[in-house]
Amino acid sequence: MAPITAQLISFASLAVIALAALAMYRRVLPAMLALPLAALAIALIATLPTGGLPSLGQAMVTVFGEGPAMLAKVVVAVVLGGALARALELSGTTRDLVRFATEFSGTSELSASLIVVFITALLFTVIGGIGAVIMVASFTLPLLRALRLPPLGAGALFLFALSLGGTLNPVNWQLYISVLGLSQAAIVSFAALGALLMALATFLLSVRLNLHRTSRRELLLVGGGAAALAASALILYLLGLSRPLALLLSLAGYGLIFAALFVALARLLLPAGIPPLMAGLAGLILPLAWLFSPRLFSFAAGREVFSPPIPLALAAGLAVAVTALPAGRRINAASRSLIEGVASTAPALVIILGIGTLISAVRDLEPVRHAVELSLSSLLPAGDAGLLLLGLVIAPLALFRGPMNLWGMGAGVLGLMLATGSYSPFALMALFFASGLIQGVSDPTNTHNVYLADVLGVEVFSLTRATLPWVYPVSALLLMAALLLLPGKVA
């Protein structure tokens, strides 16, 4: 391909992505339309050097056939995650867990807010979407306000709990696995580190909001213990000195797995002896326990053990969660959960298919990939370390549906970076994972941010101003940690 042709294709592709991003930002087009339309335009651009219907037809097959097919496992994971969330709602587990927080939070406002945050984060490791946010927020926001938190403080704490749970939501991991070809072990480990940093930031925010209403003794006990635990875990994680701890945690995780299966079996055989809440909780924790335990055991023992694919872990959680319902309703509830799971996740599914088309258009069409490699390689940082350092500056561009938002035009940017061939899958995952934390908490264009602002009677941008100084350091620390982990991951 002539250099001038490559430059034209590269410039035209970048212009298409920029125009699509502008259309989403100005709300002219939703992401579910902007992504496939951008992919179509890039496919047309890719056929310009050769021309003719055969090349156009092949481009269409690549973009709209192979692109969405690449994310088939993501679609399955999203549907099963939605079905599990719906089963937890039908069984009353979600409602009962929040009520549990109100009954056992004690008299200390700091302890109460931490318990509410923990329960909220636990729920969002499985559930998701604006419907789930509305349901959980209808219980937790009044409780946080009753603890004398200001509206902005209650909203910020809820957003951090939501994002903390989302960091550990297996459905979100599957996208990185399918697009980047990462191993499940790599994303599980990195997500655990991200969750640790998010948990620390959420804890500090809760302490800050309750500072004037908490005794010095409680602050020392709770704050000192949490800080020591977080610092120890982080140091051990980064230095690789945590094999004994990993072994203990893996054994505890396997214990949770067997306990969840025992509860489900006992619920089937002796339903009167097992409370429905216990069975629902078993279904909630089973996927994460089954995904983390093999990874921890493999690290501790130095050999690989069976680790379930994410869809299988979610399906197991769904099967256990259904046992929380009365015997006569379980079959219908399972069917209803699957059907309503598809319905509740339909917008996300369409966007996922659009992500597949756009990434395929940029990465898999030879003229576009070659043009991008020639044109952008000299403009982007050299190597993974440079990319992660650049991430410290560009991570906030995930706001306002920006280029670092993977669920928007970030899909095109990711495709461009993949097309250059200059970066490892781990570095790209770390970059977009860290940027996604900022987007999930502080983006004023998020549906859940707009809803919370409306319910709390505050401006949506005030939530951004209140949360960004807390979430950006988490993103930056995660990028720096990824720098330290690079040699092992790249090798």
Q: Give a yes or no: residue 207 inside a domain.
A: yes
pLDDT at 475 over 90: yes
Q: How confident is the model at residue 237 (pLDDT cuts 50, 70, 90)?
A: low
Q: Give a yes or no: residue 250 inside a domain.
A: no
Q: Name the residue type at position 476.
A: A
Q: Give a yes or no: residue 139 inside a domain.
A: yes
pLDDT at res. 28: 85
pLDDT at 293 over 80: yes
What integer best gives the mean pLDDT of the chain? 83
Question: What pLDDT digit, counting tens, does each position of 128-165 carry?
Answer: 777 788 888 888 888 888 888 889 999 999 999 999 99
Nearest to 299 by CA among 260, 332, 253, 340: 253
Instruction: Note whether 132 and 98 are within 8 A (CB).
Output: no
- Please state, in angstroms and rounded to a whole number, the distance separating the CA atoms of residues 173 and 192: 11
Q: Give a yes or no: residue 205 inside a domain.
A: yes
Instruction: Note whether 362 and 13 are within 8 A (CB).
Output: yes
Q: How confident is the model at residue 490 (pLDDT cuts 50, 70, 90)?
A: very low
Look at 107-116, 195-204, 320-329, 467-476 and tell me which has the smallest mean pLDDT.
Answer: 107-116
Question: What pLDDT digit, counting tens, does each position of 167-183 carry?
Answer: 998 888 888 888 888 88
| pTM, to two decimals | 0.85
Q: How confident is the model at residue 242 (pLDDT cuts 50, 70, 90)?
A: low
Q: Mean pLDDT across the stretch 98-102?
A: 72
pLDDT at res. 218: 57
Q: Which two tokens stand for residue 3?
A: 């250099």
Q: Give a yes or no: residue 55 inside a domain.
A: no
Q: Give a yes or no: residue 181 inside a domain.
A: yes
Q: Give a yes or no: residue 231 inside a domain.
A: yes
- Please state, in angstroms and rounded to a whole number, the distance separating the CA atoms of residues 423 and 446: 29
Domain extent, residue 203, equals 71-241+326-348+377-394+422-442+455-490
Domain count, the chain: 1
Higher pLDDT, 489 or 222: 222
Q: Give a yes or no: residue 93 inside a domain.
A: yes
pLDDT at res. 462: 92
pLDDT at 244 over 60: yes
pLDDT at res. 54: 53
Question: What pLDDT digit, counting tens, does each position of 339-391 carry?
Answer: 988 888 888 888 889 888 988 888 888 788 777 777 776 777 878 889 999 99
Question: What pLDDT digit, counting tens, does each position of 396-443 carry?
Answer: 998 887 888 887 778 888 888 887 778 899 999 999 999 999 999 999
Contacts by 242-249, CB closer than 8 A, 24 or more apart: 242/299, 243/299, 243/300, 244/300, 246/296, 246/297, 246/299, 246/300, 247/296, 247/297, 247/300, 247/301, 249/292, 249/293, 249/296
